[in-house]
Amino acid sequence: MIGVDDLNPYYPVTLQEARLERLRATGGPRFTFHHLDFADMPALTQALQGQEIERIVHLGAQAGVRYSLENPHAYARSNLVGHLNLLEIARQRSVAHMVYASSSSVYGGNTSLPFAVEDRVDHPVSLYAATKRADELMSESCPSLPPSADRPALLHRLRSVGAAGHDAVEVHRCDLGRRACARVQWREMWRDFTHIDDILDGVIACVDRPPAVDGEAKAGGSHSCHALYNIGNNRPEKLTKVIALLEQACGRRARVELLPMQPGDVERTFADIGAIARDHGFAPRVAIEDGVPQFVRWFREWRGV
């Protein structure tokens, strides 16, 4: 197994290094890590030279809606150039299958709930969403291009990930040490929070089952070997409920600061997981009532508080 990451400081580097050490300890000689930016094609090509690659799981990206307003070029580099580089690696080496992550942000201001993979996603409300939609379109074109025509690709539109997962989602914005506080956007915001274990279940279920090369319509409507799936909890939760669960897990009241809706954000996310349930038997296992206490225990252990 080969890992590639630049360990950039958008997320706490100490946390990334701790996860890397855990991978090294678990994988031993079966795991090789390359500390590099996958948007640097010469460096990526050199690092992978001579390596036999059967499948690619591509979860790397510059994430976050709000940060795209501050540093838009980081999104162009990682999400456009970086994604294209991995598509080219897969195409040139005739990799059997590539699974990659998009985002629920591609649904933009869609008011039809739940969000289905068949929905039109032509109206993003953030640069982050636009880059992720561009990734989907690039990936749609690749299975028909030589030298690796009919190379399957499979996409996941991920939801807000919690419990040692996505470090920028709302639960990570709370200080779980000596005080409990939260800065919450708007009172009526809802999110389809998804536990990291459920995300991994969905990704792993798809890695060894690429879309068929049969000309039939796949999830999301493609007739090539490119399928789209939502991975979510299929149960949107009000952010004020998340704060209440955090209060209960922390044993103290939160100091809540209500903010207006932030540019580029949406009121709610809600995943229709019918396609991945049908094709891969996916079903979320961890309810938010269990996931939040797990997250608090993990966070306190990691921070030593």
The pLDDT of residue 76 is 97
Percent of the chain with pLDDT over 70: 85
**Does the pLDDT of residue 188 top 90, yes or no?**
no
Per-domain boundaries in the chain: 36-164+194-235+270-285
Give the CA distances from residue 51 to residues 44, 98, 149, 184, in Å, rounded to whole numbers and listed in that order: 11, 16, 21, 46
Least confident stretch, 16-20, 105-109, 158-162, 168-172: 168-172
Calpha distance 100→189 (Å, rounded):
27
Calpha distance 286→23 (Å, rounded):
23
Higher pLDDT, 256 or 100: 100
Least confident stretch, 127-141, 186-200, 235-249, 279-293: 186-200
Answer whether 271's CB lies under 8 Å from 196's CB: no
Calpha distance 245→290 (Å, rounded):
9
The pLDDT of residue 176 is 45
pLDDT bin (cut points 50, 70, 90) of residue 2 is very high
How do residues 156-169 score in pLDDT, each as one tens digit? 676 444 443 333 34
Closest CA to 176 of 247, 257, 259, 256: 247
Alpha-helical regions (H) of the chain: 13-27, 41-48, 67-70, 72-75, 83-92, 127-141, 196-207, 239-250, 274-280, 288-303
Answer whether 269's CB lies under 8 Å from 236's CB: yes
The residue type found at 190 is W
**The token pair that represents 159 in the structure block:** 């939801």
How do residues 108-154 score in pLDDT, each as one tens digit? 878 888 999 999 999 999 999 999 999 999 998 876 556 555 555 66
Percent of the chain with pLDDT over 90: 52
Higher pLDDT, 136 or 304: 136
**Does the pLDDT of residue 278 top 70, yes or no?**
yes
Largest CA distance in the chain: 59
Give the CA distances from residue 152 to residues 12, 87, 119, 209, in Å, rounded to whole numbers and listed in that order: 34, 11, 22, 10
Answer whether 153's CB lies under 8 Å from 88's CB: no
Helix (H) or strand (E) holding 146: none
Domain topology for 36-164+194-235+270-285 = Rossmann fold (3.40.50)
The pLDDT of residue 169 is 41
Calpha distance 150→91 (Å, rounded):
10
**The token pair that represents 167 in the structure block:** 């470090």
Answer whether 64's CB lies under 8 Å from 70's CB: no
The one catalytic residue in 75, 100, 128, 229 is 128
The pLDDT of residue 286 is 93
How do residues 209-218 score in pLDDT, each as one tens digit? 888 888 899 9
The pLDDT of residue 153 is 60
**Does the pLDDT of residue 282 top 50, yes or no?**
yes
Annotation says 11 is catalytic: no
The pLDDT of residue 113 is 86
CB within 8 A of 76, min separation 6: which ones? 131
Place of tokens 């699974």: 99
The pLDDT of residue 145 is 58
**Does the pLDDT of residue 79 top 50, yes or no?**
yes
The DSSP result for 20-50, as a single string, is HHHHHHHHGGG-EEEES-TT-HHHHHHHHTT
| Mean pLDDT score of the chain | 85
The pLDDT of residue 183 is 52
Entry pTM: 0.85
Place of tokens 């933009």: 108
